[in-house]
Structure 1
Amino acid sequence: MGVLAAVVVAAGVATPAAAAAPVSRAACPDPGPGLLRCLTTYTSGAARTLADGPAGWGADDLASAYRLPGEPGPDTVVGISIAYDAPNLEADLAAYRAQYGLPPCTSANGCFRKVNQQGAAAPLPPADFGWALESTLDVSMVSAACPSCRIVVVEGNSPGFADLAETEDTAVRLGAKVVSNSYGAREGGVPLSFASHYQHPGVTVVASSGDTGFTAASYPAVLASVVAIGGTSLARDPDSPRGWTESTWSGSGSGCSAYIAKPKWQKDTHCGKRTVADVAAVAEDIAIPFSDAGGWRSVNGTSASAPFIAGLIGRSGHAGTTQPADFYARADRFVDITTGSNDRTGTGQKCGGDYLCVAGPGYDAPTGVGVPDGLAGF
């Protein structure tokens, strides 16, 4: 997305103004009541061409940071529930996988499938730039986490609660053992009336915790049947045994439900009902190819961490049996995140310095029990 230079006229002489600094933009602006929102932001300005290559964390970085095994894993079907069509999705997925040396995942070899919310190959819903960016991020992160997994993308007619609930059911019907949802809305009576669509026997459901920090809990992540995924900021750290370090991403969604009863597997004491999130992964500075914007983009959001965790669940071979309670039972198998805050001030003042918005030893709401350390926690 190019930025046109402005012209300033001063004392009768026209001079070019300084180019506007890149800003972070929401891929899906607030849609208003009754609709869900994709949880991705991207940096404005010119994209890097495919020839330029990526800028940001790629599949090889994530494999190193999370100590992923060398073997590819099973061919678990991972479902992506999404709104609208991404016309160039398969081509962008091919570009991502080629960049990082991952095996092809195409409709021809049976690895990739894209359908409408009823499960048919056509007609597909109308295209939308923001949701297409989200779709591309989702399939890229599943690929980074599980190169051997098959991917089924189910595109809803709209981001309405009913349409996306149907995409969830369709993904399961088409064989998905884990379904990723990179969207959210403030919890409330209307969205919660669709809760049953996010609970399927033998299926693991994950959802992004949100991108606006400490606030009201986000649906569907807040559901007790859903693994709520928070976000971190990742950095290289040559002085640590891991070689990497992470802190709370400032946008990582966390909250205390006003509706969902406290699950017996959650033991935190300052929220009487369901607390979001359960576990976390990187959510900042992710590189993906997006041909609708002319090349590689750097994107942010718990919409990156959710499909990444979904892919790891698929890679573990335990998709379907893995449920939210398991992350708490295996908390010692995750890397605890102990620094950072998601109250957007960086001080923790919005929650009084509490674990609901400030990371610390043990469970905290922005990053849950921590981030993956290989597949041990899955």
Structure 2
Amino acid sequence: MTARPKSPRRYVNALAAAAAAAALALVPTGSSAATGPHVREVCGSAKPGFARCLAQVRTDVHGGRGVRGPHARTASLAALPPGYGPAELRAAYHLPADGGAGQTIAVVEAGDAPRAEADLAVYRTTFGLPPCTTANGCFRKADQRGDAAPLPPDLGWSVEAALDLDAASALCPACHLLLVEADQAAGATLAASVDTAAALGATEISNSYAAAESNQNAAFAADYAHPGVAVIASSGDAGYGIPSVPAAYRSVITAGGTTLTPAPGTARGWSESAWQGAGSGCSAWVDKPAWQHDANCPGRMTADVSMDADPDTGLAVYNTDETGDPGGGWSVVGGTSASSPMLAAVIALAGHPARFGDASRLYTATAGLTDVTSGSNAAGTDCGGDYQCTAGPGYDGPTGNGTPDGLTAF
């Protein structure tokens, strides 16, 4: 159901609204993240047994290279980089600016992001967030065994790592951050990294990568189930079709994707529709959980809930990739890679990760979610307008049960 607007929310923070308008002035309307020529996928296709990261970078903003060098936060909105920052995201989802004390959000990546901590510092300084460093105990980097060294080689996922760390920071600046780097993007090494994240004390674990589900990768489901820890995964960026793992595992909270735009004059101040690229699908390998009741899928259906994922309405991300990646510096980045760490941060803000051994709570606490009722992810496929690919009242595949409206559902 759609949450009823409350009187304090009848306006959008002026700074957030102005910054959002400035960011969206750069958006080519009507374009598709799934097919648009102005979007570059950070990771290419994955070979069998391997996963690909899901970050998508806008190439039409500042020539695809962003603005190099840190931006000082000043009274001038022009000093802020393009893309949504903490103020806009908090305003859109009615989230508090504080909370998350004692929570540790882990992000799992393949390979080393050598400048992750330094780049995170630029992001947090730019947006006025408190430092999160190794020195103050807020930031930690480890390999898949939990060791600080030696770290794996750089496998080209640094933009993904930057997106995940920046997105988590934007919504939960008080949370500690744990970056766990798998030796490679294989199912076994990523699964081992999730186990390590839990062993190192993570309370929320975000996984912004995907592989098409099969009987081969079903063997790793147990690695994504840790009592007391919320495990979140992106639903994928390929639209409706074969669901991905780890998103389809029953213990995982699956984050779908929306297009988030300012809507001045409305009670909420923002509008959301299903993003065309958001992954959804009906599992052929994972049984229907008892808490899912959608009519036309006999197996596990993805997604469960959603947040902004469209690169056209993407997040400001800072990454200096020393390999010459065109996303170096400030970029606008999206994909369901963004919705997973943001959802992890929302759970961390609420402070009850033990409620999320699976997604069942999000099928009963829908009064704390905003229902997304428009948009589809069925481009190039045919699901007959069914809820599995088309947003509408109540549950649907691309957006699940909706998007956060404050912390009530969490």
Q: What TM-score do you get using the length of structure 1 for normalisation?
A: 0.91
SS across alignment from 1:321: helix
SS across alignment from 1:93: helix
Residues 202-255 of structure 1 show CA distances to partners (whole Å, capped at 9, x for unaligned) of 111110000010010110000111001000111000121111111111100000
Residues 309-348 of structure 1 show CA distances to partners (whole Å, capped at 9, x for unaligned) of 0011111110132230000010121000000001125xxx
Residue type of the alignment partner of 2:191: A
Residues 357-372 of structure 1 correspond to what in structure 2 (within 5 A)?
A: 357-372=389-404
Question: Corresponding residue for 2:9?
Answer: none
Aligned partner (choices 344, 369, 372) of residue 334 of structure 1? 369
Question: Corresponding residue for 2:343?
Answer: 309
Aligned partner (choices 146, 149, 153) of residue 126 of structure 1? 153
Which ranges in structure 1 are unaligned for 5 or more consecutive residues?
1-20
Aligned partner (choices 242, 246, 259) of residue 233 of structure 1? 259
Question: Corresponding residue for 1:355?
Answer: 387
Greater Rg by CA: 1
SS across alignment from 2:354: coil
1:22 positional shift: 6.1
Is residue 287 from structure 1 mapped to residue 316 from structure 2 by the alignment?
yes
CA distance in 2, matches of 1:140, 1:287: 8
Question: Corresponding residue for 1:325?
Answer: 360
Residues 90-239 of structure 1 correspond to what in structure 2 (within 5 A)?
A: 90-129=117-156, 131-239=157-265
Question: Corresponding residue for 2:10?
Answer: none
CA distance in 2, matches of 1:324, 1:43: 31
Tell whether the 8 Å contact from 1:76 to 1:150 is kept in structure 2 after alignment: yes
CA distance in 1, matches of 2:160, 2:48: 20
The range that moved more, 306-315 or 66-75, is 66-75
Tell whether the 8 Å contact from 1:145 to 1:309 is kept in structure 2 after alignment: no
Aligned-pair identity (%) = 47
Residues 97-140 of structure 1 show CA distances to partners (whole Å, capped at 9, x for unaligned) of 112111111100000000111111100000133x1110110111
CA distance in 2, matches of 1:117, 1:137: 20
Residues 79-98 of structure 1 correspond to what in structure 2 (within 5 A)?
A: 79-98=106-125
Tell whether the 8 Å contact from 1:78 to 1:180 is kept in structure 2 after alignment: yes
Question: Corresponding residue for 1:37?
Answer: 52
The range that moved more, 25-34 or 365-374, is 25-34
Change (3 A) 1:22 1:219: closer
Question: Corresponding residue for 1:374?
Answer: 406
1:53 positional shift: 4.0
SS across alignment from 1:189: coil
Is residue 266 from structure 1 mapped to residue 292 from structure 2 by the alignment?
yes
CA distance in 1, matches of 2:126, 2:408: 28
Which ranges in structure 2 are unaligned for 5 or more consecutive residues?
1-35, 72-78, 322-326
CA distance in 1, matches of 2:267, 2:38: 35
Residue type of the alignment partner of 2:318: P
SS across alignment from 1:320: helix
Residues 347-366 of structure 1 show CA distances to partners (whole Å, capped at 9, x for unaligned) of xx611010000000000010
RMSD, aligned CA: 1.4
CA distance in 2, matches of 1:71, 1:306: 20
The number of aligned residues is 354
The range that moved more, 297-306 or 63-72, is 63-72
CA distance in 1, matches of 2:214, 2:337: 21
Tell whether the 8 Å contact from 1:136 to 1:288 is kept in structure 2 after alignment: yes
Larger relative strand fraction = 1
Tell whether the 8 Å contact from 1:178 to 1:320 is kept in structure 2 after alignment: no
SS across alignment from 2:332: strand
Is residue 299 from structure 1 mapped to residue 333 from structure 2 by the alignment?
yes
1:201 positional shift: 1.3
Residues 52-99 of structure 1 show CA distances to partners (whole Å, capped at 9, x for unaligned) of 641111111101111111333323011111110001100111111112
Tell whether the 8 Å contact from 2:143 to 2:181 is kept in structure 1 after alignment: yes
Q: What TM-score do you get using the length of structure 2 for normalisation?
A: 0.84
Instruction: List 4+ stretches of structure 1 deviating above 6 A.
Output: none
Residue type of the alignment partner of 2:369: F
CA distance in 2, matches of 1:35, 1:325: 28
Aligned partner (choices 251, 256, 269) of residue 243 of structure 1? 269
Question: Corresponding residue for 1:65?
Answer: 92
Residue type of the alignment partner of 1:327: L
